[in-house]
Amino acid sequence: MRDLLKKLTEAPGISGFEDEIRNLMMDELEGHVDEVEVDNMGNMIALKKGKEGGKRVMLAAHMDEIGLLVRYIDKEGFIKFSKIGGINDQMLLNQEVTIHTSNGTVTGVIGSKPPHRMKEAERKKVIGYEDMFIDIGASDREEAEGMVKLGDPIIINQEFAELGKTLVKGKALDNRVGCAVLIEVMKQAETDATLYGVGTVQEEVGLKGAKTSAFKINPDMAIALDVTISGDHPGIKEDEAPAKAGKGPAIILADASGRGIMTHPKVKELLISAADEEGIPYQLEVSEGGTTDASAIHLTREGIPTGVISPPTRYIHTPVSVVNVEDVENAVKLILAVLKRI
């Protein structure tokens, strides 16, 4: 699992530019599924055929990560950028980035006005991304335009590494964790159901790939594979994020205070009973925060019973996050147990 997570997290793939992640997932699944296709949106749909007349089950893991996009190049050759996905401005400053262009990659550094030249009031404020820029070492606009183009995707650099015995850190664990779970389930699944493993695009900017792929597949049931906030570190209250790394994957009962998914009662019962019967550790969560592909899937066509399984992950939507590998492995076990019961 660690090797797979490393490959997935170190590959680039902001929303709208998921090609490398999709190709990596397709390579991993080769020989383990009956069919793989890429739809008009760029979603990867892997099919593992079940028994004739069996249920159709969709597993969805979004492939995209948060990132940046080249928006403007000034006359001195510095780059202004747009944010893609939910990003807190204060985490961007002085990060090393890689711009992916049609001719290769370009390294840059996010800079801003130095504190030595700020007034006291300025130093107390969080610097907004609109006051930042990317330095790629160009001397002027012409040189910079020879290196990058408007609309090129930008990744914040971060290496994968192990932390202690069971934790790993890396970029884009939201949602390369879900992608890893999807790959392992598709490889190992034994079920009468026909299984659709979908790597969705553009979740971070509107659940877009989930909407179109769910409409195409029209499954009898779906499970979104994502991450959730781990509330086991300083600065966060237990009642704000009760799920903890190392205590098992979270079964989401509701998110976004109900504006997102309200897990279907039959799916909830199936997930919990499978975990209890197999002795798989899990946590239950009612979230007031963000949402997942499940919100789009369950509202498709006349409605699709949908659930969410999410390993708790520290520091999501930042340049580096942390997950317990045992939670990821138990998420795989839980989904395999569920599929045996369908």
| 198 φ/ψ angles, rounded to the nearest 5 degrees | -115, 120
Cis peptide before 175 (omega within 30 of 0): yes
Cα separation of 306 and 310, whole Å?
13
Count of residues for the chain? 342
CB atoms within 10 A of CB 262: 18
For residue 51, the SS3 value is coil
Residue type, 3: D
Residue 162 to residues 21, 30, 226, 246, 321, Cα–Cα distance (Å)? 21, 28, 21, 15, 12
What's the longest Cα–Cα distance across the chain? 71
Is there a catalytic annotation at residue 288?
no
Closest CA to 89 of 122, 130, 150, 120: 130
Q: How far is CA 163 from the centre of its chain?
A: 20
107-116, long-range: CB < 8 A, 24+ apart: 107/136, 108/79, 108/134, 108/135, 108/136, 108/137, 108/154, 109/134, 109/135, 110/134, 110/135, 111/78, 111/135
The partner residues of 197 in beta bridges, in order of sequence, read 46, 59
Q: Which residue has the tokens 């928006």?
A: 71
From the list 18, 65, 203, 204, the catalytic residue is 203
Sign for the CA dihedral angle at 181, 184, 335, 217 comes to positive
Closest CA to 26 of 5, 4, 47, 46: 46
CB-based contacts of 142: which residues, under 8 Å, 6+ apart?
Answer: none
SS3 335: helix
Could you give the residue numbers annotated as active site? 203
